Amino acid sequence: MKKLRKLLSIACSLSLLTGMAAGMSGCSSGSQEGSGDSGSSGASDTAKKSDDVISLASIADTLGAGWNYGNTMEANSGGTPDETVWGNPAVSQEMMNAVAGAGFKTVRVPVSYLDRIDDANGYKVDEEWLSRVEEVVGYAYNAGLNVIINVHGDGYNSIYGGWLLCNGSDQDYIKEKYAALWKQIAERFSDYDEHLIFESMNEEFDGEYHDPVREYYENINAYNQIFVDTVRAAGGDNTHRWLMMPGWNTDINYTVGDYGFEMPEDNDNTAGEGRMILSVHCYDPWDYCGEEGKKTFLWGKKGEEIVEVNKASPKWCASWGKEDHIEGQMKKLKDNFVDKGIPVIIGEYGCIDKTDANAGIPNQIAENRVYYDAFLAGTAAKNGITPVYWDNGYNGQYGFGLFNRNTVEQTQPEIIEGIVKAVADKNPEAGLDIKVKRYTSSSSKRTSGNMYIGIQTKVYTFRNACNDGTYGVNSDYFNTLIKWEDTDGDGSDDITDAGAVFTDAEVKEDGTYTVGVSGYDFSADSEGLNMLFVSTDFEYSTALRVYDVKLICDGTEIPVDRPVVSEDSDGNLYIELVNIYNTEAPDIEYTMPKDSFEITMTLEGVKNVIK
């Protein structure tokens, strides 16, 4: 999975990185040997060879709903591919059977080669690794699945050992190595029928999120042409095999728009009709689909209904990328490719699990996720496009997993039901009425919340908000008044402890609360504040009233007229007294104290957010 703009763009970075982190934290490792019915390397001869022809007219229906066996065969450590190193168990026949049994018709198996290619030996691929790839393909065939394999992480600038780089300095070497790799893959699978699809590469771009660079795009086009020519020349079923290739970062806009993408020529295809497929990915909108740091956990008209019924904040809904955007993206692909005889596969899509984003409505958040995944899948199918869901094997917060790969049980049966039905019926709204009742709201169990003072002086002596990723409540620095100063005279600032003490407040009921910081001479440090605020770890609500806010400097009380009371990026209560970066913050006359800042306020309606 990857990042699309936007951040998902840190897309492979993110897909890989987020995916990798997710995979490593979620599952226990399995045996490298793999398990299942097939003890041989690959499928049986009867399974891998049939007279069935996947025609241009039938391909979308034949491929149906797809699923990614992600974060496994493309996983690596230090440039060495290893299918269990990111925490997932080895690929198994049982898991392939479960995927087929759930209603999916196609499995995409991302594969990395990296240092399994011996540059000093004619780019020879490690025989054991190539045999393992064939064994995995055999599992898919045995389960009756169509299967896509590609060259995955070799094209990442962010991966140690990545070499298939469109911005690489030695393109002659890259192209020679790429041709040698695909020659070996194609020859190994020359007698596998059309139910095996080759995908040239994955999210190929220069690793920077900007408009495509024409020179680099020309290299991507050249790689795709080398791929087609090499596979066709390998003979056997490769002469009429379906081949799949992406544009810049598999981005829809950069492929459809006038940025330089060219489909390769396929002069040696013996099928009598087109056998090339366009590969794209879609994680729009990224703040809903993949971004963990932003509290956007509702989408589209289903999300708007949840807001209305549950009195949730509209800020929790994605502000872009709604139904009309998804429909527009699919229409672009249909008009520019499908209608011109070039099938399209969305090789990756999906949205991460944010059911924990609001403790009061986890089932509704899960239902919204069902709706999104089914809507994209159904809209794709309606336009003759094949959708392949990205599953990184990780279940839980921010995971993409639909199955527990250790037990091969479904963990998200509602999403699976929605996707399979949406594709089969070509119905974008197939997931609209699917209910989820597996989560227990924890809002009723919460008995208290916390309030924290936050401060930043003009010389950057500070304490950040409690949810800050670097200096927040879970960091080693949160209970330290940090001062930046050059303590060793090397010209760079170091973090030092200013020696102050923080007083925070636990909130359980209506009442007056005080937070503060004391034990430091702020007047000697700075002439003023950049920021002074109160952050919290409990939900903002218009039903929670904040009033009678006062600032106390060295015991001197200073009323605060109209502090900014709002919700932060996580939807929690946030109160600003001073913020030189926010013109809406109040203008307070104060003198920097020699010992302490305190903020006191009265809360009313606490029972609406803490029970």
Q: pLDDT digits over 430-477, tens only?
A: 999 999 998 876 544 568 899 999 999 988 899 999 988 788 888 888
Q: What is the pLDDT of residue 444?
A: 46
- Whether the per-residue pLDDT at 10 is higher than 60: the answer is no
Question: Beta strands 482-485 and 494-497: pairing type?
Answer: antiparallel
Domain range for 574: 448-608
In angstroms, the Cα distances linking 215 to 65, 168, 201, 227, 254 are 36, 11, 18, 19, 14
In angstroms, the Cα distances linking 338 to 59, 176, 344 are 11, 32, 6
Band of pLDDT at residue 35, cut at 50, 70 and 90: very low
Q: pLDDT digits over 312-341, tens only?
A: 788 899 999 999 999 999 999 999 999 999
Q: Mean per-residue pLDDT for 545-569?
A: 92
Q: pLDDT digits over 527-553, tens only?
A: 999 999 999 998 888 888 999 999 999
Q: What does DSSP assign to residue 571?
A: S
One domain, residues 90 and 142: yes
How far apart are the C-alpha atoms of 609 and 611, rounded to whole Å?
7
One domain, residues 19 and 163: yes
Q: What is the pLDDT of residue 434?
A: 96
Q: Which two tokens stand for residue 126?
A: 């490690």
Residue reference for tokens 């039901």: 417
Q: What is the pLDDT of residue 445?
A: 52
Q: What is the pLDDT of residue 357?
A: 83
Encode burial over 265-291: b for 16+ CB neighbours within 10 A, e otherwise: ebeebebeebbbbbbbbbbbbbbbbbb
Which residues does 47 contact at the CB level (< 8 Å), separation at least 6?
138, 141, 142
Give how many domains the chain has, as a whole number.
2
Q: Which two tokens stand for residue 609?
A: 């957010």
One domain, residues 580 and 537: yes
One domain, residues 377 and 257: yes
One domain, residues 464 and 410: no
- Whether the per-residue pLDDT at 360 is higher than 90: the answer is no
- Whether the per-residue pLDDT at 26 is higher than 50: the answer is no
Q: What is the pLDDT of residue 11?
A: 32
Q: Which of 390, 425, 460 is the last residue of a domain?
A: 425
- Whether the per-residue pLDDT at 311 is higher than 70: the answer is yes
Domain contains 507? yes
Q: What is the pLDDT of residue 41?
A: 55
- Whether the per-residue pLDDT at 28 is higher than 90: the answer is no
Q: What is the pLDDT of residue 150?
A: 98
Q: Mean per-residue pLDDT for 38-49?
A: 64
CATH number, residue 300: 3.20.20.80
Q: For residue 544, which of 573, 515, 569 has the smallest C-alpha distance? A: 573
One domain, residues 382 and 458: no
One domain, residues 396 and 454: no
One domain, residues 111 and 25: yes
Query: Which stretches of 290-395 are DSSP H helices?
Result: 300-310, 323-336, 362-382
Q: For residue 354, which of 297, 289, 434, 395 has the smallest C-alpha distance? A: 297
Domain contains 442? no
Domain contains 80? yes
- Say if residues 603 and 525 touch (Cβ distance below 8 Å): no
Helix, strand, coil content of the chain in percent (nearest 5): 30, 20, 45
Which residue numbers are catalytic? 203, 348
User: How much is the mean pLDDT over the chain?
Assistant: 90
One domain, residues 350 and 460: no
How far apart are the C-alpha atoms of 201 and 392, rounded to whole Å?
18
Domain contains 84? yes
Q: What does DSSP assign to residue 114?
A: G
* Coil/strand/helix, residue 600: strand
Q: Mean per-residue pLDDT for 99-112?
A: 98
Domain contains 593? yes
Band of pLDDT at residue 19, cut at 50, 70 and 90: very low
Q: What is the pLDDT of residue 162?
A: 97
Which residues does 567 contact at the CB level (< 8 Å), separation at least 6?
313, 315, 539, 540, 573, 574
How far apart are the C-alpha atoms of 546 and 556, rounded to whole Å?
21
Q: Which of 425, 458, 485 is the last residue of a domain?
A: 425
Q: What is the pLDDT of residue 313?
A: 82
Decide: pTM greater than 0.75: no
- Whether the per-residue pLDDT at 429 is higher than 80: the answer is yes
Q: Which two tokens stand for residue 102?
A: 């759930």
Q: pLDDT digits over 171-228, tens only?
A: 999 999 999 999 999 999 999 999 999 999 999 999 999 999 999 999 999 999 999 9
One domain, residues 258 and 345: yes
Band of pLDDT at residue 9, cut at 50, 70 and 90: very low
Q: pLDDT digits over 227-247, tens only?
A: 999 999 999 999 999 999 999
- Whether the per-residue pLDDT at 16 is higher than 50: the answer is no
- Whether the per-residue pLDDT at 3 is higher than 60: the answer is no
Domain contains 478? yes
Q: Which two tokens stand for residue 74?
A: 């493309």
One domain, residues 418 and 456: no
- Whether the per-residue pLDDT at 610 is higher than 50: the answer is yes
Instruction: Please give the single-letter amino acid code of residue 605.
Output: G
One domain, residues 113 and 246: yes
Domain contains 438? no
Q: Which of 425, 456, 490 is the last residue of a domain?
A: 425
- Whether the per-residue pLDDT at 486 is higher than 60: the answer is yes
Helix axes 413-425, 362-382, angle to 10 degrees: 20
Half-sphere exposure of residue 198: CA atoms within 13 angstroms, side-chain side:
30
Domain contains 441? no
Q: What does DSSP assign to residue 387?
A: E
Q: What is the pLDDT of residue 446?
A: 65
- Say if residues 328 and 373 touch (Cβ distance below 8 Å): no
Give percent of the chain with pLDDT exceeding 90: 76
Band of pLDDT at residue 77, cut at 50, 70 and 90: very high
Band of pLDDT at residue 46, cut at 50, 70 and 90: low
- Whether the per-residue pLDDT at 406 is higher than 90: the answer is yes
